[in-house]
Every structure is written in C-alpha cells, then in structure tokens.
C-alpha cells in the first residue's frame, strides 16, 4: 500500500484555504487543484509499503510536544518561473523537528531520507506533481498565470492551530484525485498513544 505520514488541519483553516483557492480557480485554467477535503501537511512520504505494522510500531515510539502552526503565505516549488506545486506556507518552528523524528524512527527501512524538510500544504499540482520535472516536462500556461496572480498579491493569512496528533495515511491514486484514509493516529504531547 501507498503510505505517508501527515498532520491534519483544523476546519477553520481548511475553510480559509478553500475560500482562497475558490477565488483563484476561475481565473486560471488547466491547473490541478487538490480537493479541499484532502488538505494536509505531509511529514514524510513513504510510497509503497508491503505491511504497515512495522511503520506503525516505530512511529509509536516517537515522543514530541504538540506543534503550533501559523498558516500564511503562498508560493511555488521549485520556483515561480517553473512552477510545479502551488502551496500554502506556514510558520511552525517545531515541525521540522517532528519531521526529523519521523525520519529517524523509520530509518533503515529503505525509505529515502529527507535532505531538507520544506513544510508546505499543497494546493495544486502541475504535470506529474513531483518537485522535479520529467525531462521535457513544462509548467502549463495556467500554472504560469497562477504564479503571476499569487506573486502580485499580499501574502494570505489562513490562521493558527496546534496539532495534538499526526497520522499514518494510506493514499489510493484515483482519476479524480488521490483518496486518503487514516490508518493510525499518534499523539503529540503525551506518552500514551491514542487509538
């Protein structure tokens, strides 16, 4: 199964992100926006995993305080001239630390270690949606339009929250967009796992 580790966002922030995306959508064409219900903050993408039990067991060992997040700003990977991923930004001083713990907890299982963690919440993707293009792959015109719109406006504010848990998610790729299912929940701030 295809797995990733992520934080969920609060309803109020999801609604502000949705409203922001709703304003942009009619002004650009050919951009693959993420379903609003799918908004999340990835801590680590694992890809295909034969059995999730060891992953779960290792993630249960993580001890970490709750993580405060201030969602603000929007931008592009790898950059606004060749945009491939459109994201909402966040200030979250403890998030990289948590991502590091996830990385460390799963080390030796064959997952690629993260070079550097760039916290973001993906709002739209172009092409393969990977941070790096396939040879010959180009950003569609709609994505270039989007980059011009976003770079010409003030940084949006989406609100603050504190994450008290993170999740192991399964992703099933489907034509209408990936379908995510929470497999396990992990508490932040306590030593007792929540089930």
How far apart CA 33 and CA 110 sit, in angstroms, is: 31
Examine the residue annotation and report whether 64 is marked as an active-site residue of this protein.
no
How far apart CA 29 and CA 32 sit, in angstroms, is: 9
Which of these, 195, 189, 178, lies nearest to 42 by C-alpha position? 178
Examine the residue annotation and report whether 120 is marked as an active-site residue of this protein.
yes
- Choices 79-87, 99-107, 123-131, 155-163; region in contact with Mg ion by CB under 5 A: 123-131
Site for ligand ATP, rule CB under 6 A: 2, 4, 42, 45, 122, 125, 129, 171, 173, 178
CB of 41 to ligand ATP, least distance (A): 8
Residue with tokens 């916290």: 119
Q: Measured from the CB atom, is 89 or 153 closer to ligand ATP?
A: 89
CB of 104 to ligand ATP, least distance (A): 17
Q: Which of Mg ion, ligand ATP, none lies near 143, with the C-beta cut-off 5 to 8 A by kind?
A: none
Q: Measured from the CB atom, is 30 or 131 closer to Mg ion?
A: 131
Query: Is there a contact between 47 and 3 (Cβ–Cβ < 8 Å)?
Result: yes
CB of 99 to ligand ATP, least distance (A): 11
- Choices 32-40, 83-91, 103-111, 122-130; region in contact with Mg ion by CB under 5 A: 122-130
How far apart CA 118 and CA 158 sit, in angstroms, is: 18
SS3 for 14?
helix
195 Cα distance to chain centroid = 23
Sequence-distant (6+) residues with CB within 8 A of 17 are 9, 36, 39, 71, 88, 121, 123, 158
- Choices 9-17, 29-37, 91-99, 129-137; region in contact with Mg ion by CB under 5 A: 129-137
Helices of type H across 76-154: 95-105, 141-151
- Number of chain positions touching Mg ion (CB under 5 A): 1
CB of 191 to ligand ATP, least distance (A): 28
**Which residues are catalytically annotated?**
40, 120
Residues that bind Mg ion (CB under 5 A): 129
């Amino acid at each position: 199964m295809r797995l990733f580790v992520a934080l969920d966002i609060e309803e109020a922030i999801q609604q502000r992100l949705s409203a922001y995306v709703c304003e942009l959508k009619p002004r650009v064409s050919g951009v693959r926006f993420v379903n609003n219900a799918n908004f999340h903050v990835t801590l680590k993408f694992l890809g295909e995993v034969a059995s999730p039990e060891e992953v779960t067991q290792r993630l249960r060992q993580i001890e970490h305080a709750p993580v405060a997040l201030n969602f603000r700003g929007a931008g592009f990977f790898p950059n606004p001239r060749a945009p491939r991923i459109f994201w909402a930004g966040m200030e979250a001083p403890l998030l990289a630390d948590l991502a590091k713990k996830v990385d460390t907890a799963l080390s030796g299982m064959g997952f690629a270690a993260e070079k550097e963690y760039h916290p973001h919440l993906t709002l739209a993707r172009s092409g393969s949606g990977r941070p790096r293009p396939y040879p010959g792959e180009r950003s569609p015109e709609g994505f270039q339009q989007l980059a011009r719109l976003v770079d010409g406006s003030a940084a949006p504010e989406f609100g603050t929250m504190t994450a008290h848990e993170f999740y192991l998610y399964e992703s099933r790729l489907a034509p209408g967009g990936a379908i995510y299912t929470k497999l396990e929940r992990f508490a932040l701030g306590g030593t007792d796992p929540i089930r």
